[in-house]
Amino acid sequence: MTYDLQGQALLAWDQLLTYPETALLAFDFDGTLSPITDDPESAYAHPEVGAVLGRVGHRVAQVAVVTGRPVRTVVELGGFEGTAGLDNLVVLGQYGVERWDATTGQHVEPPPPDGIAAVREELPVLLAGLELAGAHIEEKGRALGVHVRRLPDPQGAYDRLVGPLKHLAERHQLVVEPGRQIIEIRAQGMDKGAALRSLVDEVGARCVVFGGDDLGDIPAFDVVAELRDDGTGTTGLRICSVSGEQGQMAGHADLVVDGPDGLVAFLDDLASRLGV
C-alpha cells in the first residue's frame, strides 16, 4: 500500500516505521474499529481488529482505545481481554473518565455525575413532547445518548433535538456531545483530546497516531496537531475512518481510510512493514 502523506504526517510515518517503540497508537471505537449499526446495542468490533492490533502491539509503546462508550462495553465488544500482543492496551471510556488496563485487568469507573439521574427521568417526556418518542435512548451509566438513526427523518429529528437537549443538559450542569446521528449528554471537563494528551504524557510518546470518524474525535485530532507543532519534536499522524454520514471529518485528517475495513487494512500493512 502507498499513502499520500506530506510534511509532518510523512515525518510521523517515517518515525513510526523506524522507531515504533516510541509510538502511541490510539483509536476511537464506533465507526473506526467497529462498523456503525442502526442499533448501538448490537455493535460489534471488526472481526480482524483484535488480531491486527495485537500484531502491531508487539512493537509499539502502547495501543489505546479512546471512546465515548463505557470501558466494560468496549472491552467485551472488542474481545480485547487476553488478546495476544495487547498486553499494553489501555481503554479509556466515557471520553477518558473510565479506564481499563490489559496489563492488570483493572477497571477504574467513577460514579455517575450529578444530574444524569434527573436527565434520565426527564428525557422520555421531552422526546414525547417533540413527537420524537421513537428516538432510541442509549444508557451509558455516566452519560445518555439519544439516537435518531432509526427515525423516518434522522437529520430533521437531529436538528429539532439539539437545542432542547442542550437546554436540558445545561439545567443540570451537563453538556451535549454531537455525533453521528446521536446527541449525547454527559459531564463537563473531559474530552478525547484531554484523554489522548494524558496518555501521551504517561507513555512519553514521541510519535502519536490517532484514528477517529466523528465530531467527538476532533479534540483528539487537534491535540495531535498541537503536539507536532509545539517544538518538542513529537510527530503525529491523524487518520479518518470516513463514511458518507460524516464525510466532513476528512478535512481534519492526514490520511483517509474507508471505514473500519480501511483501518484494518492500514494496520495490517503497518504490521507487515514492522515485520510482525
On whether residue 14 sits in a domain, the answer given is yes
Say yes or no: 232 and 101 in one domain: yes
Residue 105 banded pLDDT, cuts 50, 70, 90: very high
On whether residue 205 sits in a domain, the answer given is yes
Say yes or no: 144 and 181 in one domain: yes
Which residues are within 8 A (CB) of 262 and not within 5 positions of it... i.e. 6 or more apart? 241, 242
Residue owning grid cell 510523512: 10
On whether residue 1 sits in a domain, the answer given is no
Say yes or no: 178 and 47 in one domain: no
Range of the domain at 87: 7-109+191-273
99 close to 91: Cβ distance less than 8 angstroms: yes
What distance in Å separates the CA atoms of residue 265 and residue 48, rounded to the nearest whole number?
10
CB atoms within 10 A of CB 135: 24
User: How high is the pLDDT of residue 57?
Assistant: 95
On whether residue 155 sits in a domain, the answer given is yes
Residue 27 banded pLDDT, cuts 50, 70, 90: very high
Burial class (CB in 10 A: 0-12, 13-18, 19+), 33: buried
User: How high is the pLDDT of residue 174?
Assistant: 93
243 close to 204: Cβ distance less than 8 angstroms: no
Statement: residue 246 has pLDDT above 70: no
Q: State percent of the chain over pLDDT 70.
A: 98
Say yes or no: 73 and 196 in one domain: yes
Say yes or no: 104 and 127 in one domain: no
Say yes or no: 83 and 196 in one domain: yes
Buried-state track 45-62, b at ≥16 Cβ within 10 A, e below 16? bbeebbbbbbbbbbbbbb
User: How high is the pLDDT of residue 20?
Assistant: 98
Q: Final residue of a domain: which of 171, 186, 201?
A: 186
Say yes or no: 84 and 26 in one domain: yes
Statement: residue 102 has pLDDT above 60: yes
User: How high is the pLDDT of residue 215?
Assistant: 87
* Mean pLDDT score across all residues of the chain: 92
Q: Final residue of a domain: which of 186, 208, 231?
A: 186
Statement: residue 245 has pLDDT above 60: no
Q: Final residue of a domain: which of 139, 163, 186?
A: 186
Residue 209 banded pLDDT, cuts 50, 70, 90: very high
**CATH code, 210:** 3.40.50.1000
User: How high is the pLDDT of residue 98?
Assistant: 94
pLDDT digits (tens, 9 = 90+) for 43-86: 889 999 999 999 999 899 999 999 999 999 999 999 999 888 99
pLDDT, greater one: 109 or 100: 100
On whether residue 2 sits in a domain, the answer given is no
Burial class (CB in 10 A: 0-12, 13-18, 19+), 182: buried
On whether residue 27 sits in a domain, the answer given is yes
Say yes or no: 96 and 164 in one domain: no
On whether residue 215 sits in a domain, the answer given is yes
pLDDT digits (tens, 9 = 90+) for 161-196: 999 999 999 999 999 988 878 899 988 878 999 999
